[in-house]
Structure 1
Amino acid sequence: MITSFDIGGTAIKSAVATADGQIGAAHRVPTPTHDFAAFAAAMQALIDAGGPTEGVAISIAGVIDPDSGRIKCANIPGIDGRTLAADLSAAFGLPVWILNDADSFALAEARAGAGRGHRNVFGLILGTGVGGGLVIDGHLVGGPGGLAGEWGHGPVAAQFAGTPPQAIPRFPCGCGQTGCLDTVGGARGLERLHGALGQPGLDSRAIIDAWQAGDAAAERTVAVFIDLLAGPLAMLVNTVGASILPVGGGLSNSAPLIARLDAAVRAAILRKTDTPIIVPGQSGAEAGLIGAAWLGLEKLGNQRG
């Protein structure tokens, strides 16, 4: 057995994972965000409560450089810049494996969700912003800097979108570039587009509700949003050969929005299919725990092998 963790800026969740990838009841404690010793102690208490374990697998909202092992984690300053796996392994006396939350979602969907039976799976995150992870033949695809799957960054967002075409500002992105898809995708992107199209400030849920109720201004915003994302996603599908793109994050809760995005992407890809390829994820609220569990079990198996 291994102990699986899903860690964010608010809470640390843990569960025991068995050799078949099943996870037990989840337990949670508040995340100590500024003190590494307190952070490690909170995790140790959850490990002890779960009983004997052979290792620790962690899904976390951060980026881990595979070369240095250092993590970039803005919402937990106490671990930012640390060689987190090595530091925690020393504290626990156990092997520790870490992956970011988008990769964890992708792995959970590939192994236990909508991606089961598919060779190439791209886990698509439409949350506050956009993100993703790629799984091929059941294994996560990594890359320099730990940034594989980050399709939302790069100055490629179209400057005109919708029918008739609407001018779209090139918004500055938190990554330092201008015109990234992350600035117009996800919940904040939908809200930003609504304002740029001359509409009053609304949160993403209100925009989607208005769209579903037939509001013309919300329909225009959603049409622009879909147009901006569909082309880049079609290129992603053509490039990596993904046959399914399970969606996680807050916007995945709108089935009509995901269905509309799916239709637009399928119309733009080279492979023609009547079967949806962009679908709501199935791994639920515990995707982080499930994805981390599968990673840990794979790593443990490799060590034994």
Structure 2
Amino acid sequence: MILCFDIGGTTIKGALAYSAEDIRLLPRVATPKDDFAAFVGVLRQAIESCDTKPDGVAISIAGVVDEDNGWATVANIPCIHGRDLKADLETELGLRVIIANDADCFVMAEAGIGAGKGHRVVFGVILGTGVGGGLVIDGRLINANGGFAGEWGHAPVAATQAGDPPVHIPAIRCGCGLHGCIDATCSARGLEKLHVLLHHEDKSSQEIIDLWCAGDEKAARTIQVHVDILASPLALVVNVTGASIVPVAGGLSNSQELLAEIDRAVRGRILRKLSRPLVVKAQCEIEPGLVGAALLGLASLTD
């Protein structure tokens, strides 16, 4: 049995995972953000509440573990930021600990029980406040030891000419410090920035999508440019990885119309010719970070 956690800046969600089909949720607990001893105490209390000792602990975090030194970058939880979190928790808890980025856990969940089930190569995409992703091949997460694989949203590759007819798009500064990232132009906030750039109108991403679906010409132009910028980098990722399915989560994925446009554009730019959808809505919508952590932990039992 694996004790798994999905740890956010506000809440720690937990579960007992006996198998992929038997994941039993635990009560949520507030995250001690500034006190490492209290943070460990929450995890230790969950361990002590188990009828039998867990075989290990698997954790999903909204951050990244550097595979070179083990240090965790978790900006919204100061007490674990900058630590060799795996080593520290294994010392404190006396159990094997596995830690993965929440986007990677989402892809594990999709590959295991969601839209990617039955596919050998699954590239999962987050289109929300930011643009992220993760890669699972043969049921194994590429970032098994941490790292930045799957972070297709961050690199200065966003097109500076997009749409039909083409319009100039400046290299927008991204939160990572670079200019011209997909994250900066194709996230929900990026969609809003594009609309301001094109039409000098301040609209929320949901308003833009709703207007587009209602036939608004300005919103349609924004969506066209947005999809044009996004589709080529994603097509390149598909070509490089050989992904046969791309499940999408995050706020923008709630628009089936937008996903259909992205799917059409990406399939038109990849080498493999598919007559079925490639870019699809994620299916594991309930606690995917927790489910993914559970699947990672269970897989570790056979390593």
Write the distance in 2 (CA, Å) between the matches of 1:187 and 1:46.
36
Structure 1 residues without counterparts, runs of 5 or longer = none
- The unaligned stretches of length 5 or more in structure 2 are none
Deviation of the 1:50 alpha carbon: 4.2
Pick closer, same or farther for the CA change 1:95–1:145 going to 2, 3 Å.
Answer: closer
Which residue of structure 1 aligns with residue 285 of structure 2? 284
Report the Cα distance in structure 2 between the residues aligned to 1:192 and 1:237, rounded to whole angstroms.
26
Give 1:280 deviation, angstroms: 0.5
- Correspondence list, 1:15-164, <5 A: 15-52=15-52, 53-142=54-143, 146-164=147-165
Q: Can you list the C-alpha shifts for 1:188-227, whole angstroms capped at 9, x where unaligned? A: 1111111111332122111111111111111111111100
Residue pair 2:104, 2:143 contacting (<8 A) in 1 also: no
**Could you tell me how far 1:175 is from its partner in structure 2?**
1.6
Corresponding letter in the other structure for 1:18: Y
- Which residue in 1 is equivalent to 2:11? 11
Identity of aligned residues (%): 56
Change (3 A) 1:183 1:39: same
Match of 2:118, as an amino acid? G
TM-score (ref. length: structure 2): 0.96
Within a 5 Å distance, the mapping from 1:231-250 to structure 2 comes to 231-250=232-251
- The alpha carbon displacement at 1:28 in A equals 1.1
What is the identity, as a one-letter code, of the residue corresponding to 2:221? R
TM-superposed deviation, 1:232: 0.8
Matched with 1:215 is 216
For 1:48-69, what per-residue CA distance to the aligned partner results, in whole angstroms no more than 9, with x for missing partners?
A: 3344322110011000012211
SS at match of 2:23: coil
Deviation (angstroms), 1:291: 0.6
**What's the CA shift string for 1:267-304, capped at 9, x where partnerless?**
111111110010011111311111101111111222xx
Moved more, 32-41 or 53-62: 32-41
Contact 2:199 2:218 (C-alpha < 8 Å) held by counterparts: no
TM-score by length of 1: 0.95
Aligned residue pairs, count: 302
SS at match of 2:154: coil
One-letter amino acid matched to 1:15: A
CA-atom RMSD in angstroms: 1.5
How many angstroms does 1:144 deviate by? Answer: 8.9
Residue 145 and residue 50 in structure 1: after superposition, are their counterparts in 2 closer, same or farther (change >3 A)? closer
* 1:270 maps onto 2:266 in alignment: no
Amino acid at match of 2:16: V
Pick closer, same or farther for the CA change 1:288–1:143 going to 2, 3 Å. closer
